[in-house]
Structure 1
Amino acid sequence: MKLTVIGQWGGYPKVNEASSGYLLEHDQYKLLIDCGSAVLSKLQNFVQPEDLNAVIISHYHPDHIADIGVLQHALLIGKYMDKNIQTISIYGHQEDEHGFQALNFQDVTKAVPYDPSGKLQIGPFSISFLKTKHPVPCYAMRIEAEDQVFVYTADTSYIESLNAFAKDADVLLCECNFYGNMDGSGAGHMTSYDAGELANLAGAKRLVLTHLPQYGDLEQLKTEAAEKFSGEVILAYYGLGIQL
């Protein structure tokens, strides 16, 4: 598997960058995980919209879905440009029916529900889910292909069930919207200490901090997470590529 960070900001993107969006590839299959603000613009440096095989959404907050409509129009315009546009499946949960139905658009995208209690097979990826602690229904994802494990926490404050869910992850892509001395539980987000402790308890090989705050010294997040986790800690940035 190869992970490419398209956008790493929480809430809204910093200038010329993007909020949550991650491209996961394996055996030439291209899965976009979340599609936040400005993701489509940045995505095109790596893959054209029509070359995506599928999209999966953790939840329906704007910083994770703002560019779904933009993606849909890119595909629609592509049809008029005689591109080979196939209907792309966008997977999402149905606990917000309005958000789910918005994943449908003409014949270019199709909303497909996932069952959070079961496993979902998308191309080469086997995906299981864990409901997180966030103001709206949101799901972390454990994605496996062959003997590789990628875990994305999506948005959540720390919950103990994440420890087993992320067990032995080759890469743990963990939200980190607050600094160590802050309390993100009310907002449904983790601190750098939470992220480091989760990586430690899960036995993750690498920790990638994402959903980053727009303030403060981001290197401090990395330093604080490393106080709890002795493995490799990486700050997500646009274009970061990691081979699992």
Structure 2
Amino acid sequence: MNQKLFAKIASFFGMIGLGGICMKLTIIGYWGGYPKKNGASSGYLLEHDGFNLLIDCGSGVLAKMQNIIEPEELDAVLISHYHPDHIADIGVLQHARLIQGFLGKSFPTLPIYGHPFDQTEFTKLTYKEITKGISYEPNEILSVGPFQVTFLKTDHPVPCYAMRIEANGKSIVYTGDSSFKEEFIEFTKGTDLLLCECNFYQQQNGKSAGHMNSIDAGQFAERAGVKQLILTHLPHYGELSKLIHEASTEYTGIIKLADDFQTISL
């Protein structure tokens, strides 16, 4: 059985829980700054009720995503901010869909949702009739397929927005890139899954760079009462398992490191 067919069968059964069809997150890329060999920077596939939402589209994401779904199977893309490790593969995604159209496949224009506070980068989200950039308003609830999305501006050198994504009574919070800020606690309170950036080890202070360390992530998760913590946007150096050990001194719940094709069904 080929890898993609196996992934689709596993995806179907993985999304069937006791309460019916679940929301399912698959980690595609999780490296901070740039991808490691054979890896990818930020990219997360969220599936629910037959709808495929890609959250961020960093370097290497398109190649790895094709182990799960084809580019033309995406229904929407949601962008946290315009640093290259979060948007580098937008251009190749656009060309992939363009070429598949030339080959006779038919699919609608792909909406790519991004904030409007960098017009140069936002404009690039629209390409021919292939993709269309749609601005989200940070103070409003965004409906994307079956998902309801709320936003919180993060502390990062460029405008960036954390997201709380809800469907079927479940929720995921994705921090995007940010140092810790007090507003995160109320925004994240009681979420089923916190996908939290963790670019630094405990002895490092990431605040000036707009990132969190392992202690920040653990304290954040504990105070917000989240049910599960996944550390992502990981550093390229050091022993990554230390991040879990360090965060666990602050957070008493389930902690995992983001990993290739890791799936979480809610």
2:148 pairs with one of 108, 126, 142: 126
Classify the secondary structure of the residue corresponding to 2:216: helix
CA shift, 1:236, in A, is: 0.1
Post-superposition Cα deviations, 1:209-236, rounded to whole Å, max 9, x if no partner, equal 0000000000000110111000000000
* Cα pair 1:200 1:228 within 8 Å, conserved: yes
Classify the secondary structure of the residue corresponding to 2:184: helix
Distance 2:45 2:187 in 1: 21
1:73 pairs with one of 95, 109, 116: 95
1:136 pairs with one of 158, 161, 165: 158
2:84 pairs with one of 45, 55, 62: 62
User: Which amino acid in the other structure matches residue 141 of structure 1?
Assistant: M
Equivalent residue, structure 2, for 1:109: 131
1:184 pairs with one of 206, 210, 215: 206
Equivalent residue, structure 2, for 1:25: 47
User: Which amino acid in the other structure matches residue 141 of structure 2?
Assistant: K
Matched, 1:34 2:56: yes
Distance 2:198 2:106 in 1: 39
User: Which amino acid in the other structure matches residue 131 of structure 1?
Assistant: K
Equivalent residue, structure 1, for 2:117: 95
CA shift, 1:88, in A, is: 0.3
2:169 pairs with one of 118, 129, 147: 147
TM-score norm. by structure 2 comes to: 0.91
User: Which amino acid in the other structure matches residue 209 of structure 2?
Assistant: A
User: Which amino acid in the other structure matches residue 212 of structure 1?
Assistant: L
CA shift, 1:85, in A, is: 2.8
User: Which amino acid in the other structure matches residue 143 of structure 1?
Assistant: I
Equivalent residue, structure 1, for 2:229: 207
Distance 1:129 1:204 in 2: 17
Distance 2:229 2:106 in 1: 38
Equivalent residue, structure 2, for 1:221: 243
Distance 2:59 2:168 in 1: 32
CA shift, 1:238, in A, is: 1.0
CA shift, 1:86, in A, is: 1.7
TM-score norm. by structure 1 comes to: 0.99
Percent identity for Structure 1 against Structure 2? 57
CA shift, 1:57, in A, is: 0.2
Distance 1:85 1:163 in 2: 40
Matched, 1:169 2:169: no
* Cα pair 1:78 1:85 within 8 Å, conserved: no
Distance 1:194 1:240 in 2: 23
Distance 1:53 1:85 in 2: 10
User: Which amino acid in the other structure matches residue 66 of structure 2?
Assistant: Q
Classify the secondary structure of the residue corresponding to 1:154: coil
Q: Aligned-residue CA RMSD in angstroms?
A: 0.5
Q: Which runs of 5+ in 1 are unaligned?
A: none
User: Which amino acid in the other structure matches residue 186 of structure 1?
Assistant: S
Q: Which runs of 5+ in 2 are unaligned?
A: 1-22
CA shift, 1:146, in A, is: 1.8
Which 4+ residue blocks in structure 1 deviate beyond 3 angstroms?
A: none
Equivalent residue, structure 1, for 2:11: none
User: Which amino acid in the other structure matches residue 202 of structure 2?
Assistant: G
